[in-house]
Chain A
Amino acid sequence: NAGVTQTPKFQVLKTGQSMTLQCAQDMNHNSMYWYRQDPGMGLRLIYYSASEGTTDKGEVPNGYNVSRLNKREFSLRLESAAPSQTSVYFCASSEGSGGGIQYFGAGTRLSVL
Chain B
Amino acid sequence: KQEVTQIPAALSVPEGENLVLNCSFTDSAIYNLQWFRQDPGKGLTSLLLIQSSQREQTSGRLNASLDKSSGRSTLYIAASQPGDSATYLCAVKGGEGAGGTSYGKLTFGQGTILTVHP
Contacts and interface: CB of A to CB of B under 8 A. Distances in A.
A106 B105 contact: no
Contacts of B111: 42
A43 B108 contact: yes
Interface stretch (A13-21, A77-85, A93-101): A93-101
B104 A98 contact: yes
B31 interface: yes
Contacts of B54: none
A46 to B, nearest CB: 11
B110 interface: yes
Contacts of B49: 100-101
A106 B31 CA distance: 26
A40 B44 contact: no
Contact of B46 (A56, A58, A102, A105): A102
B34 A107 contact: no
Interface of A: 4, 31, 33, 40-45, 48, 50, 56, 58, 90, 92, 94, 97-107
B105 to A, nearest CB: 6
Interface residues of B, number: 23
Given A99-B31, A102-B46, A107-B43, A45 B105 contact: yes
Contact of B44 (A56, A94, A99, A104): A104
Given A42-B111, A99-B93, A101-B34, A106 B104 contact: no
B46 to A, nearest CB: 5
A99 B110 contact: no
A107 B49 CA distance: 22
Interface in B32-47: 32, 34, 36, 41-46
Contacts of A44: 108
A31 B104 contact: yes
B104 A105 contact: no
Interface string B75-111: 0000000000000010101000000010111101111
Contacts of B89: 42-43
